[in-house]
Each structure stands twice: as structure tokens, then as C-alpha cells.
Amino acid sequence: MTICILGAGPGGATAALHLANAGHHCLLLDRATFPRDKVCGDALSGKVLSELRRIEEGLPDRLAAEPAQLPSWGIDFYAPNGRRLAVPFKPHYNPATDRAAGHISKRIDFDNFLIEEVRRRPEIDFRENTDVAAHEQLPDGRWRLLDKDDTEIATADVLLVANGAQSNFARVIGGHVLEPAHHCAGLRAYYRGVTGLHPDNFIELHFIKEFLPGYLWVFPLPDGQANVGVGMLSEAVAKKKVKLRERLDEILRTHPALKDRFATAERLGPVRGFGLPLGSRRRPLSGRNYLLLGDAGSLIDPFSGEGISHAMVSGRHAADWAARAVAAQNFTPEFLKGYDAAVYNRLWQELRLSRAMQRLLGYPWLFNFIANRAANNPTLAETISNMFLDLDLRERLRQPSFYFKLLLGK
């Protein structure tokens, strides 16, 4: 098989669908059988909808019709001083008539939504329950994939590696070692019966003074459920000796803004942990005959923790550059660096801005100032919202007038 994709999450599935749209056949492998769960915050930003639309114009509407999702109309930020800043995704929105700018869906449902699209495409050879135990590079550069019995699964000219944050390939071959300053530790649990959720399904981000530089989230879900979790830089977890599970329980039980809301809530299932390799440092995304996608490429937003849309962006560009490599029969590192340039051209400004916002979490007084200022500054409030949902911040960030307005408080 000329093009093989490891991992059928959002990055891998997106790459496969774009390849199919361009008339290219590919092999898509995943060790799980779908539907399968994935530990995540479960929020789907406007950038996700934009990437769905690039795959097929009607996909966002099909997602909106799914019973396993909720439309979300904004974000409630809670500053360390307790100040609530409500930022709707659309000014003067009307839930009855407008298309939602974001959605919330469990990953078991959203990932399967994409996989159902994959299953419809004859160009995609999708193999579930296929565990790639080893990969070896042949002298001509091709990758030979083996199962646990050393039986060959496939040999590929170009390998699109989209097998997640724990990717052995990304670590050993791609050189993406865990760096505590650029890695986030997170916990997630599902609850039923959380009170005080926004009627229009605003997602909540709580920046609690005693928990900085971490934050807590509450995202509403269908059937009266909520995704509740915490995240903190791994560097800070080690330095402060934070026990995340204990802190999550303590915050929900004692914090003035949350204790009453969780007093009668029921936790559904275990608290599950996960690691997030952040895109706060620019790393190589390609090498000889391979491309790294999504979490395997360390592309997670450093401030919001969002990874789904970035995985889909990388999947789209990976499909493009894999097809170019096949057409040119050029799989050299020099040629495939065009993929790195394409991905970072789209994401790097936003990743840098998110890194700057992440640093604010170490200065509660500054974060409080920004939250207070944003309450009276539409430009800044819109910027914070766009950290999660804007399709492209680059043009605005290049305009000196943008910064001038921020300084003047306009």
C-alpha cells in the first residue's frame, strides 16, 4: 500500500477522507474497534466545524442533527478573583435560528461519526482491531508494519502517524520526547446532575487561584451529563507536588462557586487521566517517508488544551503532502518539510498566542486584570473567545491597530 495511516482518530480519519476525496487509495489502521472511548474534554470548536466543511459541505449539519451532541453558544470564564466573563461565540445569537458555532460531544460519539464517513468510502481500506506492534524502515525508505507475531501487516511508501499522544513512533523515530514544560497532565470524569449549567450550553473554564497554573472545566453534555476535569502543566505538577485526583475532589467539594452545584451530582465511572503534548514549542513533523499528525505531532493548544481541530488541520495537510510525495515519488525529509511549513503556517500564530495566555496563569493579578478589562473591552473579549473558536487569527494579529485598541481599552 502506497499510503498508510496509523490511527483512526480525528487526524487520521480526516487525512483518509481527504485522500479519498482526491481519488487516492489508502490503508487506515487502528488497534481499537469503533466506537471506542478517548479521554478528552469533548468540546468541538468552530475550527472543527470548518475542517468538517472542508471534507464535505454538509458534514457540520449532519453533526448538528446527531442526538449525541449539544450545540454550544459560548464560554463562561471564571477569573481567579471569581469574576465571571461570559463570551458568546456569536454576538446577539439566536439558538432557534442560528447555526451553533461549537458543539460538545463525547469522543466515543464524535470519532465514530467520522468513522462512519470513512466506512462509506471504497477508497479507504479501514482495518480495526489491528495492533501495529513494530515498524521497521527498509533500505529504500519504505515502512514495514508488523503485528505482535512479527507477521507483516503492510509495507508503505509513506506513513501518516496519527496514533495519539502516547505514540511510540513519534517518541522513538520523530524525537518527540516528553518535556514537562511543554506537556500537560489532565484528568476527566463524567457527572450527572450538575446544577447551574448554562441554558445555552456555554462551556465553563474556572481559573482558581489556589490551583493555578492549572484550570478546571465543566462542559455540558446530552442527557443531563457533564464532562468535568482539570489540567496543569506537568512541570508545575512535579514542582508543586500536586495530586490532581485529590485536588479535583477537593475543589468540587469545597470551592464556593462549585460545591453547591456538585452537592447532589453523581459521578459516572472512574476518573481517567491523560497526557497532552503541547504545541508550545515548534517540533519537526516529518522525516524520511513519514508525517506526524495531531497529538503524535505535539500540536495541542497550550492554553485551551484543544487538540481535535489541530489534528484535523494536520490531517488535511498530511493528505495533501502525501499525495504530492506519491506524485513526485519523492519521500525525502527535504521534500516532506513542506508539510511542516503548511501546518505551522496555519497554526503557529495561534499556538504562540496560546503560549502567551498560558503564561498568564502564573500571574493571578494579571489574569484578573485582563478578565476585568475584557468585561468592558469587546476587542479583548472577542480575542479570548477566538482562542477557542476563530477560524484564523493570523490576519488580525498582523494588524497594529489590533494592539492599539487593546492598549486603549476600546
- pLDDT at 296 (0 to 100): 97
- pLDDT at 91 (0 to 100): 74
Q: Does domain 3-68+105-179+279-354 have CATH number 3.50.50.60?
A: yes
- pLDDT at 399 (0 to 100): 59
Can you tell me the distance from the alpha carbon of 206 to that of 214, in angstroms, rounded to the nearest whole number?
Answer: 9
From the list 153, 381, 134, 174, the residue with the least C-alpha distance to 298 is: 174
- Contact (CB, 8 A) for 132 and 146: yes
User: In which order are the strands placed within the sheet that holds 74-78?
Assistant: 84-88, 74-78, 203-206, 215-220, 225-233, 183-192, 266-277
Can you tell me the distance from the alpha carbon of 406 to that of 410, in angstroms, rounded to the nearest whole number?
Answer: 6
Can you tell me the distance from the alpha carbon of 124 to that of 77, in angstroms, rounded to the nearest whole number?
Answer: 42
Quote the cell numbers at residue 148. 505482535
Can you tell me the distance from the alpha carbon of 7 to that of 257, in angstroms, rounded to the nearest whole number?
Answer: 40
- pLDDT at 408 (0 to 100): 60
Average pLDDT over residues 5-11: 98
- Contact (CB, 8 A) for 280 and 359: no
- pLDDT at 119 (0 to 100): 98
Structure confidence by residue, pLDDT tens digits, 12-28? 999 999 999 999 999 99
Instruction: Band the pLDDT of 394: cuts 50, 70, 90.
Output: very low
Residue positions counted in the chain: 410
Q: How many CB atoms lie within 10 A of CB 284?
A: 15
- pLDDT at 87 (0 to 100): 80
Average pLDDT over residues 6-17: 98
Structure confidence by residue, pLDDT tens digits, 340-360? 999 999 999 889 888 887 887
User: In which order are the strands placed within the sheet that holds 3-6?
Assistant: 124-127, 26-29, 3-6, 158-161, 290-292, 286-287
Average pLDDT over residues 309-322: 98
Per cent of the chain over pLDDT 70 is 92
Exposure b/e, 168-187, CB count within 10 A at least 16 = b: ebbeebbebeeeeebbbbbb
Q: Which helix (H) or strand (E) holds 374?
A: helix 364-375
One-letter amino acid of 356:
A
Q: Give the pTM.
A: 0.92
Least confident range from 102-111, 185-194, 203-212, 305-314: namely 203-212
User: Please, which residues bridge with residue 204 across strands?
Assistant: 76, 218
Instruction: Band the pLDDT of 409: cuts 50, 70, 90.
Output: low
Structure confidence by residue, pLDDT tens digits, 122-136? 999 999 999 999 999
Q: Which long-range contacts (CB under 8 A, 24 or more apart) does 18-24 make?
A: 18/54, 18/55, 18/315, 18/316, 18/319, 18/320, 19/123, 19/124, 19/319, 19/322, 19/323, 20/121, 20/123, 20/124, 21/55, 21/56, 22/319, 22/323, 23/123, 24/123, 24/319, 24/322, 24/323, 24/326
Is residue 228 predicted with pLDDT exceeding 50?
Answer: yes
Structure confidence by residue, pLDDT tens digits, 62-94? 999 999 999 999 888 898 988 888 888 877 789
Mean pLDDT (the chain, rounded)? 91
Quote the cell numbers at residue 380. 479583548
One-letter amino acid of 286:
S
- pLDDT at 391 (0 to 100): 40
Is residue 317 predicted with pLDDT exceeding 50?
Answer: yes
Is residue 388 predicted with pLDDT exceeding 60?
Answer: no
Can you tell me the distance from the alpha carbon of 242 to that of 234, in angstroms, rounded to the nearest whole number?
Answer: 10
CA angle 108, 114, 117 (to 5 degrees): 135
